[in-house]
Amino acid sequence: MASLPQPRPIALIAPRLDAGPASRAVQACAELLAPAGYYLAAAPWGGASGLSLLSGMRPAAALVIGPLDDPGLRSTAAALEIPVVETWSASARPLDGAIVIDNVEAGRMAARHLAARRHARVACISADNPWERARREGFIASAAALGLEQMADIVQPEAQHMNDGRMAFLRLLATNTIFDAVFCTSDLLAAAAVSEAHNRDLHVPQDLAVLGFTDDGSAAQWAQGLTTLGIDAAALGRRAGQFLLDRLQGERGAGERETIDIALEERLST
């Protein structure tokens, strides 16, 4: 009986291994790669020992969550001469390919939606990661261009759990500004904002409209019904996996870039 081919690793490079927004994409990518004999290998690759481990493993390719901006990781991946795909957001000059969201446009779309709903005084809550920073920047710039008054801008250093989102909303309330709508750059932040607003007898959307961004489709499950911008994270993962397979099989060249479409799902919160 012929032996099965030895599975080959594809390095999963992420700022942190519990990156919530990317979990469904990583799962979908792994499921697509497995039948072709590849598996995702995750580790904290930073630092001298991590970079040595990455080089010694000699992965067939690399899937990157976020931009490949870390100089050590970038130079190590380049030296391996393997296919690399950056996902969600890409560095200014991607090392190889990229499957990305136009996060700046997502922010612009949020501002246009709130303006169309006749909200004049707006606030923004975001987390401190590359894709949410881009959504925030797009929102602030477009809100100003549309004549909306930016009342407050909260950047939450850590936004992994509902309590982090609640803390961000409390920081927003502590600014003592009057606003009638808030754009939250993730569904977690938006859900926490709705929850805390209700705890303070604020009615959504009558007193406060809330608009979020969903990476995993969970926004529709909230009782209030969050209005969200979003993408299909699993579809992004499958496209990234197919990109890597095509590169490994010589069916696609280096340097290609794809952008995932963003959709608006209008529900009760705006």
User: What is the DSSP secondary-structure string of 139-162?
Assistant: HHHHHHHTT-EEEEEEEES--SSH
CA distance 133 to 191: 19
Per-residue confidence (pLDDT) for residue 1, from 0 to 100 = 41
Looking at residue 124, its pLDDT comes to 98
CA distance 154 to 234: 29
Fold match, 8-102+232-261 / 103-230: yes
- CA distance linking residue 63 with residue 149, whole number of Å: 40
C-beta atoms surrounding 34 within 10 Å: 13
d(CA 242, CA 136): 30
- pLDDT for 216: 59
Architecture of domain 8-102+232-261: 3-Layer(aba) Sandwich (3.40)
Cα dist. 247→8, 40, 77, 125, 266 in Å? Answer: 15, 16, 15, 38, 38
Candidate CATH numbers 3.40.640.10, 3.30.450.40, 3.40.50.2300, 1.10.10.10; the one for domain 103-230? 3.40.50.2300
Closest alpha carbon to 82 in 55, 43, 100, 101 = 55
Mean pLDDT by 10 residues, the chain (270 residues): 67 72 84 94 85 92 91 93 92 92 95 97 93 94 96 91 92 95 93 91 93 72 75 90 94 90 90
Phi-psi region of 84 (alpha: psi -120 to 50; beta: other; left: phi over 0): beta
pLDDT at 153: 97
pLDDT number for residue 17 = 57
- Written as six digits, the tokens of 95 are 């090392």
What element of type H or E holds 101? Answer: strand 97-101
Domain positions in the chain are 8-102+232-261, 103-230
Give the count of alpha carbons within 13 A of 232, CB side only.
Answer: 8
